[in-house]
Each structure stands twice: as C-alpha cells, then as structure tokens.
Structure 1
C-alpha cells in the first residue's frame, strides 16, 4: 500500500493508467488528420474550381455561338429558297425586252440574273470571241458574238462548240441580217477563272468578262451583261441552251450541325452545374 501511494505521489502512473491517459484525450486536443487540409490539397481544390469555372464559361460561350450560327443558317436557307423561287420564275416567264441602254449603268445583277429576254439585232460576226468552256458535252468553247441593236451592243453567248470546230470555217455560215435572239440575261464574269486569268492580248479567255471583251473588240457602247441564247431547232453549231442553273443549298444540314453542337454545350453546362455530391 505504501508502495502504491509512493508510486502515485511520484506522478508516474501505473501501466494501465498510462494506457488510459493516452486513450482519453480531452476533446480540445483531439486531432483528425482527415479534417486538416494541407497546402497540396488546398491547391488541388483551388485548381479544380478554376478548371470548372473555365469549362462553365467555355460551355456557355459555345451555347451562345452555336445557337447563333444555327439561327443564321436557318435564315440563309430561307433566303436561298426565296432566291431559287425567284430565279425559277424568271427562267420560265415569258420573254421581255432587255433593259434600255439608259438603265445599264444602274443595273444590279441580283435584279436581272436569269431573266428571260428577247431582242432584235444583227450579229457582228467579225468580232466574235471564243471563251474556254467545259460542259456536259465535253471541252470546247463558248462562242460570244456582239449583237448590234437599236440601243447599243449586247454580247450573246450563241452556244458551245467542241475544240475541233472552233475555227469559223468549220462551222455553219454565220447568220446574216436582222434576227431575233431569245435567252437568259447573265452577269459579267470579270477576271477569269481561279488560277486562270484572262489574257486578252493572247486571245485567251477563261470567263465571259463583258467589259474586257468589249474593250478588246473596240466596242464602246456594250451592255454590262450578256445573253445566253436558247437552243435553236436544227441550228447545228454552236449549241445553245446549255445554261446550267444550280444553287447549292446545304443550309439545313449546317443548321442541324450547329444546333447539335449547341445541345452538347447545354448538356455540359447542366453537368457542371449539378451539386458535387450528385455528380459522384
């Protein structure tokens, strides 16, 4: 008993007391390592928040951008369908006289392209021009001949000739005297084709550039447009009526693509905005 009291007075607890002293730590001194965020964990949390914020901004910007592009393509499709309808109406309308020379300086191709016209005049056969052409009938040339009218000169694309018939002597005799030409009004094609510019001095033409051809032929009162002549029955060469009217209209496909990407952006936003515990 004395030893026990001496043992306690010395402040050195018995082995079982020592164990209890360790096990029963006061609450104010309790420590949970999992609740103590170290510098590395805090940095990871900060970087994760920044990354999430960046993704939120990216998805929101994508949603706005792709939705705008989709709406724009829908509007473009409506415009293209209206253009196709207007051109189709012009092609199948009854022919009308071409605009008078006084109106030529103010003409806008959007207002007259593919309008069916009929004009009376006389071909200036000595001033015809061959323009390189590639058609469903093969390679060859367009034959552009000035038509002298009472109002000025209008270039007429009389049609297509194969390479072997480019020389006038190998074709039927040129039409003489006054005649009536029916066809479609077409806008000038200045400059040439891609990587193939017109070379007037070498008489190499790759596009129906009305102003350049008129200048090369010394024609001062030429219309700013030309006429694609209709096919004439039993006329032989040149072969008229080969105008190709084709409009690419893939705007619906483009709109669906943009709206699909907008939907993916919206899905990303919803996923990022969900509470963290629901994403686990």
Structure 2
C-alpha cells in the first residue's frame, strides 16, 4: 500500500512539473507574440467574410481600425478590476455601413460613473449615433462563461466577462463580430494619462510568469518522494539483517 502511494505521488508530482514547463513555454511564446504584435501598424479589422478564420494565434492583440456608428442604447457595463481600482468596462457596439456590429470596449470607468454610462431609459434601442466613428485598438478574443466564481447574468444585465456571443444575443445584435476591440493602444511609459472617462488604452500586455518556480516546486516534491522511498528501503534492509531473537522458554 505504501509503495502504491509513493508511486502515485511521484507520478503526480512529475506530471504537474511537466505541465508547468509546458505552460511556461506557452506563456513565453504568448509574451513574445503580444510584444511584437502591439507594435505593428494598425490594419483594418477582419471583415465578416474573414470572421470564421479569426483565432487567437493569428489575431489576438493585433492593432486594428474599424468604422461605423455607435449603438449607445445597446451599451453594457462589464465589471472590471484594474490598476485604477474596481469599476466597469464600457462595451458599446459599433455598427458598420454593411449592418455588421463590432463590440468596442471603450475603456474603464469607476463605479461612481456607472449611472452616466447606462443606456438612457425610453430611448429607441436601435437608433445609431449619427456621428461616424473610426476606432483604433487591439483585437481581443471573446471571454466566455463569466468571471472568477461568477457567471454572466444576461437577463439582469450583470456581466463579469466580455462574452461576445452572450452580449450580442442579449442586446439583439444579429451580425456581431466574434471578437471585440479594446479601444486605444496601450499607453507608453511616461505618456500623460487621459483625464476623461471611459479611460481607453488599458489593455494588459504584460503577463505574470511564475511557471518555472511552480515546475521546480513540483519536481522538488517528486525528488523528495524518491529520497523518502530510498530511506525507507534502506531502513527495511537494515532491519532484515538484524538477528531475530527467539523468546526463551521458562
């Protein structure tokens, strides 16, 4: 029984360490890809004909531009935790001339600004803003399901992640792109911070990478299992060499 437990622990710790090594390789590739991509010159956002081919490996964090008119009455507020504190992302559809829509994360607002960015009561839901807009930002992939330990609640307009399909369905967007765009490019160090809300350009493009530490921890635990097994085997062999005393009869 003890042997089976030791083997299971060793294999489990080894597998976890190897998984962390693989995760580290993936994270390093992501960091390199994102760093190179965000420096590129903005291009036109993928058109409806290209939507089936859009994937994270080729498109995520790509600087893009898209033009259209805001649909302000279809704005949703998605809960956010940022370097500026807790608040909301303001996500508004931008409708192109061909009728397609792209969800735009216009930026962060603190909780105190929430009421100002809620859709106006009684206003026509499908009336676009008359002013044409051209938005430049980073293409992002959908964030399905919800946030940490919280599910999106479309019926009550409570959003914890930018789930494109769910938001489009809840807001009646029939030709929505399968991605969203973070408006604004990330601010460069030393550049002045915007003083208006929503605050764009807050896309996180630096990623925490502790996978090597985790891998060494799991491999260390696997090594400890081997050392423990060695000590136990030596102790058992030593015990086997000791003379066995036969109880004397009185």
Q: TM-score band (shorter)?
A: 0.7 to 0.9
Q: Measure how far apart 1:77 and its partner are.
A: 1.6
What is aligned with 1:137?
A: 84
What is aligned with 1:220?
A: 174
What is aligned with 2:52?
A: 105
Distance 1:267 1:93, change over 3 A: same
Q: Measure how far apart 1:156 and its partner are.
A: 0.5
How many residues of Structure 1 are paired with residues of Structure 2 in the alignment? Answer: 224
* TM-score normalised by L of structure 1: 0.66
What is aligned with 1:95?
A: 42
1:156 lines up with 2:104 in the alignment? yes
What is aligned with 1:267?
A: 227
Unaligned runs of 5+ in 1: 1-53
Q: Which segment is superposed worse, 214-223 or 270-279?
A: 270-279
| Secondary structure in 1 matching 2:92 | strand
User: Which of 127, 133, 143 in structure 1 is aligned with 2:74?
Assistant: 127
Question: How large is the RMSD of aligned CA atoms in angstroms?
Answer: 3.3
| Secondary structure in 2 matching 1:99 | coil
Q: Measure how far apart 1:240 and its partner are.
A: 0.6
Matched residues in 1 for 2:5 and 2:157: separation?
Answer: 56
What is aligned with 2:165?
A: 211
Q: Measure how far apart 1:154 and its partner are.
A: 0.4
Matched residues in 2 for 1:181 and 1:126: separation?
Answer: 18
Alignment of 1:184-203 (within 5 A): 184-203=138-157
Distance 1:228 1:278, change over 3 A: same
User: Which of 97, 122, 133 in structure 2 is aligned with 1:179?
Assistant: 133
Kept in 2, the 8 Å contact 1:131–1:208? The answer is yes
Kept in 1, the 8 Å contact 2:64–2:137? The answer is yes
Distance 1:58 1:279, change over 3 A: farther
Larger radius of gyration: 1
Q: Which segment is superposed worse, 65-74 or 141-150?
A: 65-74
Alignment of 1:76-87 (within 5 A): 76-87=23-34
What is aligned with 1:117?
A: 64
What is aligned with 1:276?
A: 238
Matched residues in 1 for 2:149 and 2:5: separation?
Answer: 40
| Secondary structure in 1 matching 2:200 | coil
Alignment of 1:1-16 (within 5 A): none
* TM-score normalised by L of structure 2: 0.73
Higher helix share: 1
Distance 1:65 1:163, change over 3 A: closer
Kept in 2, the 8 Å contact 1:113–1:186? The answer is yes
